[in-house]
């Protein structure tokens, strides 16, 4: 479910009205170019799974938080 709000703003007769929309799931509705750029930026990290620094740091942090949760910290 996508929630959004649409508001029409009017300042004066000389300025045309402006419609503003707020969407809570904006990343799923981004323009094609932004999605392609995001994919280009993410792909090297995904192709390096699990050997790259990002993945090893994420795994170490996950394991640390898991130990803390098991110890009740």
Q: Determine phi and psi for 18, rounding to 5 degrees.
A: -125, 130
Q: How far apart are CA 5 and CA 66, in angstroms?
A: 39
Where do the structural domains in the chain lie, given as residue ranges? 4-71
Q: How far apart are CA 23 and CA 6, in angstroms?
A: 9
Residue 64: predicted pLDDT: 93
pLDDT digits (tens, 9 = 90+) for 20-73: 776 666 566 567 777 888 889 889 888 988 888 888 999 999 999 999 898 886
Q: Could you tell me the end-to-end alpha-carbon distance of the chain, in angstroms, rounded to an integer?
A: 36
Q: For residues 65, 67, 70 and 73, what is the CA-based torsion angle, rounded to 10 degrees?
A: -60
Q: Is the pTM value of this prediction over 0.85?
A: no
């Amino acid at each position: 479910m996508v929630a959004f709000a649409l508001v029409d703003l009017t300042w004066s007769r000389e300025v045309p009205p402006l419609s503003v929309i707020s969407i809570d799931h904006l990343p799923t509705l981004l323009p094609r170019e932004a999605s392609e750029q995001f994919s280009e930026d993410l792909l090297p990290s995904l192709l390096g799974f699990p050997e790259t620094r990002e993945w090893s740091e994420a795994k170490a942090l996950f394991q640390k938080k898991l130990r803390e949760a098991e110890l009740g910290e």
